[in-house]
Amino acid sequence: MKILFTCGGTAGHVNPAVALAQMFQARNQGCEVLFVGADGGMETRLVPKEGYPIETVTITNFRRSFTPAAIGHNVKTLLNMNKSKKQANAILDRFQPDLVVGTGGYASYPVVNAAAARGIPTAVHESNAVPGLTTKALSKVVDVVMVGFEESRNHYDDPSKVVVTGTPVRSDFFQYTRKEARAKLGFTDEKPLVLSVWGSLGAEEMNRQIVDFISLEYEQGVPFHHIHGAGRDYQTVCQALKAKGVENQPDIDVREYIYDMPVVMAAADLVLCRAGASTISELTAIAKPSILVPSPNVVADHQTKNARVLEQAGGAVLLPEGECSGEKLFQTAASILNDKSRREAMAAALREMAVADAAEQIYSVLSGLLGQKKRK
């Protein structure tokens, strides 16, 4: 058995593919796996760290603008599409996969499209609530489209081809109960815990707002525990807090990076974060109420669309960055943290929409495709 996964652009596209690759190899002796990404993409660093080989195609995205720079970029992308088509076919010739799976990113397009044209079983998985251009285009040629949320089905031309599988979440996120995680973090009281993090690198504007948020906590006697991941702005955040007289406070834990995220997330009563696909999947899977501040710097504003799905279900509060402030964040967080029944209702809403066994669901769908192998 040979399976080709193609993905890239973000860890949210790569991680589900890695989880599936591990599952297939654990259950199918001799299963060979190959990844395909884009030249220079982060997948070329992430995938080898997981022990898998990766090849690349020369592909770039389309910019939705008519500026001279954007037009020039799009012309280059059109030229790259022809080049990547040849590269994709060469990879398929060499590897001879039994199944090709795209999990997001524009690198998926030439490989999945070429595989579908050959009659190789193909599938795509979309973690975001609303499909991007790549998934939308591939949905017309693949055998199956797998999505994270039921609300996503109607965004496709052929809803009957769509299967709601959820998005795989690392197993260590399910390792601890709230009580066990709090004990591991050394909490001996019942003060609620708020977790704030704006991505592995952080976000300058939101870190500034968190400084104001923490100052308000401090002024009110630190009514709850707070762990914040500041990313590359760590020193700046620490200096800003010190200038405001906030230091040596045991209930406020500012870190450069949160290495034990599954433990912290399990212990948290409220999460303040962005709304990327992986984050949304984790929050839903472990039913954590959240305040979502979508990044305004992503293609097609897809984080806002992700956040809106959770907000409409009742599991999250959406605050656009342009309307947000440290004070508004604090007031919103305090209103949730001081209302246990509201938190319980938010958690229940998330459990209702979650697909707890997403990896198993996807494995079942893909195994079914392998059983219907139709190579020409």
The pLDDT tens digits of the residues spanning 300-327 come to 788 999 999 999 999 999 999 999 999 9
What are the backbone angles phi and psi of residue 38, rounded to the nearest 5°? -100, 150
Task: Write down the pLDDT at residue 201.
Answer: 59
> What's the rounded mean pLDDT across residues 329-358?
95
Give the tens place of pLDDT for each residue, 181-201: 999 999 999 999 999 999 765
Q: Please compute, for residue 193, the number of CA atoms within 13 A of its CA located in the half-sphere on the CB side.
A: 24
Q: Is 198 exposed, middle or buried (0-12, 13-18, 19+ CB in 10 A)?
A: buried
Task: Write down the pLDDT at residue 64.
Answer: 64
Structural domains in the chain plus CATH codes: 2-166+356-371 (3.40.50.2000), 172-353 (3.40.50.2000)
Nearest residue to 59 (alpha-carbon basis) of 14, 107, 104, 13: 107
- pLDDT confidence bin for 133, thresholds 50/70/90: confident
Give the tens place of pLDDT for each residue, 346-371: 999 999 998 878 999 999 999 999 98
- Does position 375 have pLDDT exceeding 90, yes or no? no
Task: Write down the pLDDT at residue 247.
Answer: 82
Give the tens place of pLDDT for each residue, 216-251: 999 999 999 999 999 999 999 999 999 999 988 899
- What are the strands, taking DSSP E only, across the chain? 2-6, 32-38, 54-57, 99-102, 122-126, 144-147, 162-164, 193-197, 225-229, 252-255, 270-273, 290-292, 316-318
Task: Write down the pLDDT at residue 376.
Answer: 41
Long-range own/partner contacts, residues 36-39 (CB < 8 A, 24 or more apart): 36/4, 36/5, 36/6, 36/88, 36/91, 36/107, 36/111, 37/6, 37/7, 37/8, 37/105, 37/107, 38/8, 38/9, 38/105, 38/106, 38/107
Angle at 306 between CA 300 and CA 310, to 5 degrees: 155
Global pTM reads 0.83
- Does position 81 have pLDDT exceeding 90, yes or no? no
Task: Write down the pLDDT at residue 374.
Answer: 47
Average pLDDT, the chain: 91
Give the tens place of pLDDT for each residue, 146-166: 998 888 888 999 988 999 999
Token pair of 357, please?
Answer: 């066994």
Token pair of 24, please?
Answer: 């297939």
Token pair of 159, please?
Answer: 């809803």
Q: Starting from the edge strand earliest in sequence, which strands make up the sheet with 32-38, in order?
A: 54-57, 32-38, 2-6, 99-102, 122-126, 144-147, 162-164
